[in-house]
């Protein structure tokens, strides 16, 4: 086998075993390497909080040396004053009672006096006799989340100031009215920029997969609550999700930001759809519902992996979201239901359903939010478009690649006019009839 332009090419059948051995060596990672270089922090402590083990990721975040931490510091010593107080009064007692805590927001202090926002999950390891032995803790960097929250707070304050100015302008001269209109336009521009920051700028190009997406914002004056994403899990697996948070405006954007960050972080830790959705449920419930400000979302999360004959296997998990739709060959369309999925974040613990399918060449998977099926139709706008009409629409267009499906649905949405009064997100994933990457 020889290497040409960065690609291995066969030079003889006798080299197959050598090539297999070379690739095996490249993919071998020791457990210790995976622990030390994980994208999140890990540490283990004794029951009194003494740090017994910590990975290089967390040490790097905090700017600490292992010799100064292991056996010399308690977990609480790594926290800020406020974080230490919360740990002693809430975190540690609850952990002893429940044996496990997930997605708790704390702040750690760095060696240079800085603050690091983190999400902490801890579990107690017990002996065979049930005696607690040590505490294993996972730490996720939440700096991006904190930056989003601060930006959203600033934007909400700007919006409130603009509202007061608009009310005062009603009693003033025409010049004041024009100034208020100018301020409102500037705010709309700011919200549009912030809205874009909550969605991926473009979808990645996947070998052997075509993608297409469309996002409709119902109002230019409010931040929408629909979201989607597509990202690599490493190797040849990819994760995707689409969902809808409750409410509108800056609060919905804050919830969207937290939801997207949590889904990505949880997927890299364990991409099983039910596990990812369970983690998101715990984070949202702890952040909002448990504190008296209930907020939740619907969400479908899936994992793609290569299948035989050039297709892709799909494993989906859903929390209260409309069923995915598959456009099959031969002019067929069918829903891929995930019955029993509950709203994410509404309850402390809920079951999530999963479904599996395989996309063959020429077939397309469509995810959508309920802005599509709940669009008002008819002369009086009393009827909803509904899932039956969507299924018939898909069957009329099957088989069709993602770009064609999204283009047809975009025309359909525009035809609803004022009947489309909710944000709508569409994400289509399909296998081209001829192998080759494609995305938009």
The reply to whether 27 falls in a domain is no
**Domain total of the chain:** 3
Distance between CA atoms of 107 and 86, rounded to whole angstroms?
Answer: 10
Q: Are residues 289 and 412 in the same domain?
A: yes
Q: Which domain holds residue 91?
A: 32-141
- Judgement on whether residues 157 and 52 belong to the same structural domain of the protein: no
Q: Is residue 10 part of a domain?
A: no
Domain check: are 136 and 240 in the same one?
no
Q: Residue 136 domain-assigned?
A: yes
Q: What is the mean pLDDT of each run of 10 residues along the chain (440 residues)?
A: 48 63 64 88 94 94 94 94 92 92 92 92 92 94 78 81 78 64 53 59 88 87 84 94 88 89 96 96 90 90 91 95 94 90 89 93 96 89 92 96 97 91 94 60
354 phi/psi in degrees, rounded to 5: -125, 160
Answer yes or no: do 118 and 206 share one domain: no
Give the pLDDT confidence of 217-263 residue by residue, as tens digits.
877 667 778 999 999 998 899 999 999 998 877 788 889 999 999 99
The enclosing domain of 416 has a CATH number of 3.60.40.10
State whether 335 and 265 are in the same domain: yes
Judge if 324 and 393 occupy the same domain: yes
Domain CATH number, residue 86: 3.30.450.20
- Same domain for 281 and 380? yes
Residue 424 is predicted with a pLDDT of 94
pLDDT recorded at residue 439: 41
Dmax over CA atoms of the chain, in Å, equals 88
- The Cα 232–Cα 237 span in angstroms is 6
| Structure confidence at residue 440 (pLDDT) | 43
* Axis-axis angle for helices 273-287, 249-269 (nearest 10): 140
Count other Cβ atoms within 10 Å, centred on residue 354: 16
Q: Judge if pTM exceeds 0.85.
A: no
302 and 353 both lie in a single domain: yes
Ordered DSSP codes for 226-237 = EEEEEEEEETTE
- Are both 133 and 85 inside the same structural domain? yes
């Amino acid at each position: 086998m020889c290497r040409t332009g960065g690609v291995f090419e066969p030079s003889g059948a006798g080299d197959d075993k050598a090539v297999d051995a070379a690739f095996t060596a490249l993919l071998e990672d020791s457990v210790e390497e995976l622990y030390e270089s994980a994208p999140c922090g890990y540490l283990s402590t004794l029951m009194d909080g003494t740090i017994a083990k910590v990975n290089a990721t967390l040490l790097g975040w905090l700017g600490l040396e292992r010799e100064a931490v292991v056996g010399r510091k308690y977990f609480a010593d790594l926290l800020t004053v406020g974080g230490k107080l919360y740990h002693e009064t809430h975190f540690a007692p609850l952990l002893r009672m429940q044996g496990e805590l997930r997605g708790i927001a704390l702040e750690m202090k760095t060696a240079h006096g800085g603050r690091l926002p983190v999400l902490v999950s801890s579990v107690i390891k017990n002996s065979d006799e049930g005696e607690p032995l040590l505490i294993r803790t996972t730490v996720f960097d939440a700096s991006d989340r904190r930056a989003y929250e601060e930006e959203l707070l600033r934007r909400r304050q700007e919006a409130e100031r603009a509202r007061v100015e608009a009310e005062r302008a009603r009693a003033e001269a025409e010049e004041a009215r024009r100034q208020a209109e100018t301020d409102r336009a500037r705010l709309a521009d700011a919200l549009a920029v912030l809205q874009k920051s909550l969605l991926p700028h473009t979808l990645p190009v996947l070998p052997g997969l075509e993608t297409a997406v469309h996002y409709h914002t119902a109002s230019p004056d409010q931040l929408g609550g629909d979201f989607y994403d597509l990202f690599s899990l490493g190797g040849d697996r990819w994760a995707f999700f689409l969902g809808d948070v409750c409410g509108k405006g800056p609060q919905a954007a804050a919830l969207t930001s937290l939801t997207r960050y949590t889904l990505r972080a949880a997927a890299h830790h364990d991409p099983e759809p039910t596990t990812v959705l369970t983690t998101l449920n715990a984070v949202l419930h702890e952040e909002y519902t448990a504190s008296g400000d209930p907020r939740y979302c619907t969400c479908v999360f899936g994992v793609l992996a290569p299948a035989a004959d050039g297709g892709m296997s799909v494993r989906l998990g859903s929390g209260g979201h409309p069923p995915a739709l598959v456009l099959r060959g031969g002019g067929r369309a069918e829903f891929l239901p995930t019955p029993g999925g509950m709203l994410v974040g509404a309850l402390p613990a809920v079951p999530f359903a999963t479904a599996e399918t395989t996309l063959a060449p020429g077939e397309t998977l469509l995810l959508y939010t309920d802005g599509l099926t709940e669009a008002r139709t008819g002369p009086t706008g009393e009827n909803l478009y509904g899932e039956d009409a969507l299924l018939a629409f898909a069957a009329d267009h099957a088989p069709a690649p993602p770009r064609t499906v999204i283009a047809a649905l975009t025309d359909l949405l525009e035809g609803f006019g004022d009947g489309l009064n909710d944000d709508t997100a569409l994400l289509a994933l399909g296998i081209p009839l001829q192998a080759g990457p494609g995305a938009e």
